[in-house]
Amino acid sequence: LPARSPDPSAVISDLVTSYPPKVMRKRRRHIIVNDPQEPDQIEANARSVPGIITTRGCCYAGCKGVVLGPVSDIVHIVHGPVGCSYYAWMTRRNQSGNSVDTNGVPNYINYAFTTDLTEHEIIFGGEKKLMQAIREANEIFHPKAIAVFSTCPVGLIGDDVHAVAALAKAELGINVFGFSCEGYKGVSQSAGHHIANNGLFKNVVGTEDLPEEELTNPFRINLLGEYNIGGDAFELERVFEKCGFDLVSTFSGNAQYSDLAHAQEANLNVVMCHRSINYMAEMMETKYGIPWLQVNFIGAESTAKSLRKIARYFGDEDLIARVEQVIAEEMAELEPIRQDVRSRTQGKTVMLYVGGSRAHHYQALFADIGMPTVAAGYEFAHRDDYEGSRVTPTIKMDADSRNIEELSVSADPDEFRARKTTEELLALEAGGLKFADYEGMMPEMAKDALVIDDISHHELEVLIEYYKPALICSGIKDKYVVEKMGVPCKQLHNYDYGGPYAGFQGAVNFYQEIDRVVNAAVWRFITPPWAKQTANAD
């Protein structure tokens, strides 16, 4: 950590000192001084304290807004008051490559569909109105599938969206499925991710097959947990194609219904945002024997590392060589820009408070340009996202009988074996394959950096006063509070309308934007509150 970092224990006591004793004890458990060797237990995925200003979202946001929302050719009907639909409309910047105009594939992302529940339905029930909305949407748009999302009042009045969806499916002959993702469920949007994963797995994955001719490339992967914010998925699609990976589906950035429906045809799942989609990876491993490994395509170094990890998994010499070639080419292009930017950003400190994976992943991108992370935290991630998992499952084969002796993935060994040739299995074993060897935020952060879960606005302000970081990364709910303190704030949810930031070209975009942001003269013209206090005292 930089020499001017304050004493973490002094910071912690100031962070919680103004809370009532019970709240103080509660919040204290969400704050850890990091030890990367032995990450301490952090309280996470717990209820936010009422009255504290948290930046979390709700279950409906996690299900409809995050996981399902980016799928462009499903009609997403929000069953709830019109406000729920309006406030989730086009806010997350997930892009879609297809449009009705260019290739005839429908794209409903620009639409907001809702049943517009009013007092009448709250009293008499909203199922009829939902059925009517589904019929109407089908008649006008003829979609392949319709998904229904319940918001808070639906759970309170007890409408059975699943029964309505089943009836509509039988009547219309298209796939219609519902999600009981009422906003109040769970403690954050994390509950919504889980509900979305379960629903997609049950109703969509495995319902279509790919024709034989599309199964010739053995390096078939799904990219899980990438949502095409600011066009990230476009850059990753470019890199994968160059490497020779066949991208079967992405959950769910730039995705269409059919991609998800035949996702079981992939041979490997690579998991980007573990928090939102680990359930899917695990269910696909159990049912279809598809192993998964965690990747991070944020940052040039971590993109290179992740590509190597995938190539090593497949174990094919030509593939490994091609991936090395791609990395060499991309790095050669990027390196001069990185070095140039780094000369102006080196040593400038950053704090990151975002969602459930980016507060970790973006630390790699800052490391590329020499910017240390002094404090970070997630809004709603779980303990494993902080502390990491050191599970390193392996395959052990009996060389004579060529049977699996030991397989410590959760897949049924026989089913797993049935999907692989003996040669593939032997290659996996020889490659020392590691499956879920993902690491969380804490093992990769500096010693004595602060880790704070579900940070409140008050705590963020205290932290800024102590650390006076060169940059904060967070979201819309605190961006302008931060900037009024004279510290630039880069939104890592919507990228402040920039991007892409993933992959190699994305990293270049990010380096250049961060250079401009942290070195802009404008911040010197703002008098932060601590300077004003000194002025008053004088």
Active-site residue set: 58, 61, 92, 193
Q: Which residue is nearest to ligand CFN (CB)?
A: 355
Q: What are the strands, taking DSSP E only, across 2-117?
A: 31-33, 74-79, 113-114
DSSP alpha helices (H): ranges in 30-126? Answer: 59-60, 82-86, 100-103, 119-124
Which of ligand CFN, ligand HCA, none does residue 45 bind to, with CB < 5 to 8 Å depending on kind? none
Q: Which stretch binds ligand CFN (CB under 6 A): 79-87, 131-139, 350-358, 438-446?
A: 350-358
Strands 246-252 and 220-226, bridge-based pairing: parallel
Q: Which stretch binds ligand CFN (CB under 6 A): 222-230, 393-401, 479-487, 513-521?
A: 222-230
Token code pair at residue 324: 């090395």
Least separation in angstroms between CB 230 and ligand HCA:
11
Please identify, using beta-carbon distances, which residue of 176 and 224 lies nearer to ligand CFN: 224
Q: Which helix (H) or strand (E) holds 221?
A: strand 220-226
Q: Which DSSP state fits 41? A: P
Within 485-504, the residues that bind ligand CFN by CB under 6 A are 493
Q: Which residues pair with 246 in a beta bridge?
A: 220
Which of ligand CFN, ligand HCA, none does residue 344 bind to, with CB < 5 to 8 Å depending on kind? none
Least separation in angstroms between CB 82 and ligand HCA:
18
Q: Which of 229, 243, 311, 508 touches ligand CFN by CB under 6 A? A: 229
**3-state SS class at 74:** strand
Please identify, using beta-carbon distances, which residue of 476 and 531 lies nearer to ligand HCA: 476
Question: How far apart are alpha carbons 305 and 152 in whole angstroms?
Answer: 42
Least separation in angstroms between CB 87 and ligand HCA:
9
Q: Which of 357, 363, 456, 509 touches ligand CFN by CB under 6 A? A: 357
Write the CB contacts of 189 (distance below 8 Å, at least 6 apart in sequence).
56, 57, 58, 59, 61, 62, 65, 66, 380
Q: What are the strands, taking DSSP E only, across 154-205?
A: 175-179
Least separation in angstroms between CB 118 and ligand CFN:
29
- How far the first Cα of the chain sits from its last, in Å, is 32
Which of ligand HCA, ligand CFN, none does residue 186 bind to, with CB < 5 to 8 Å depending on kind? none
Q: Which of 26, 79, 322, 358 touches ligand CFN by CB under 6 A? A: 358
- DSSP one-letter string for 280-345: HHHHHHHHH---EEE---BSHHHHHHHHHHHHHHHT-HHHHHHHHHHHHHHHHHHHHHHHHHHHHH
Work out the burial of residue 105: count CB atoms within 10 Å of its CB; fewer than 13 is exposed, 13-18 middle, 19 or more buried.
Answer: middle
Which of ligand HCA, ligand CFN, none does residue 477 bind to, with CB < 5 to 8 Å depending on kind? ligand HCA
Please identify, using beta-carbon distances, which residue of 267 and 276 lies nearer to ligand CFN: 276
Which of ligand HCA, ligand CFN, none does residue 72 bind to, with CB < 5 to 8 Å depending on kind? none
Residues in touch with ligand HCA (CB under 6 A): 55, 57, 61, 65, 91-92, 189, 355, 475-477, 491, 493-494
Token code pair at residue 487: 């510290």
Least separation in angstroms between CB 264 and ligand CFN:
22
Please identify, using beta-carbon distances, which residue of 490 and 493 lies nearer to ligand HCA: 493
Q: Which DSSP state fits 536? A: H
Write the CB contacts of 77 (distance below 8 Å, at least 6 apart in sequence).
113, 114, 115, 130, 133, 134, 137, 146, 147, 148, 149
- Residue 66 contacts ligand CFN per CB under 6 A: yes
Least separation in angstroms between CB 152 and ligand HCA:
15
Least separation in angstroms between CB 499 and ligand HCA:
12
Q: How far is CA 112 from the centre of its chain?
A: 23
Q: Which residue is nearest to ligand HCA (CB)?
A: 475
Q: Which of 84, 233, 273, 514 touches ligand CFN by CB under 6 A? A: 273
Least separation in angstroms between CB 189 and ligand HCA:
5
Please identify, using beta-carbon distances, which residue of 96 and 491 lies nearer to ligand HCA: 491
Please identify, using beta-carbon distances, which residue of 194 and 493 lies nearer to ligand CFN: 493
Question: How far apart are alpha carbons 287 and 296 in whole angstroms?
Answer: 25
Work out the burial of residue 6: count CB atoms within 10 Å of its CB; fewer than 13 is exposed, 13-18 middle, 19 or more buried.
Answer: middle
Q: Which of 28, 36, 92, 457 touches ligand CFN by CB under 6 A? A: 92
Polymer length in residues for the chain: 538
Q: Which stretch binds ligand CFN (CB under 6 A): 21-29, 136-144, 224-232, 428-436?
A: 224-232
Q: Which of 11, 130, 354, 518 touches ligand CFN by CB under 6 A? A: 354
Which of ligand CFN, ligand HCA, none does residue 476 bind to, with CB < 5 to 8 Å depending on kind? ligand HCA
Question: How far apart are alpha carbons 257 and 142 in whole angstroms?
Answer: 14
Give, in order, the Cα–Cα distances in Å from 444 to each of 81, 211, 352, 359, 367: 43, 42, 14, 12, 11
Within 391-450, the residues that bind ligand CFN by CB under 6 A are none
Please identify, using beta-carbon distances, which residue of 262 and 479 lies nearer to ligand HCA: 479
Q: How far is CA 256 from the centre of its chain?
A: 18
List of residues contacting ligand CFN (CB under 6 A): 62, 66, 92, 189, 225, 227, 229, 273, 275-276, 354-358, 493
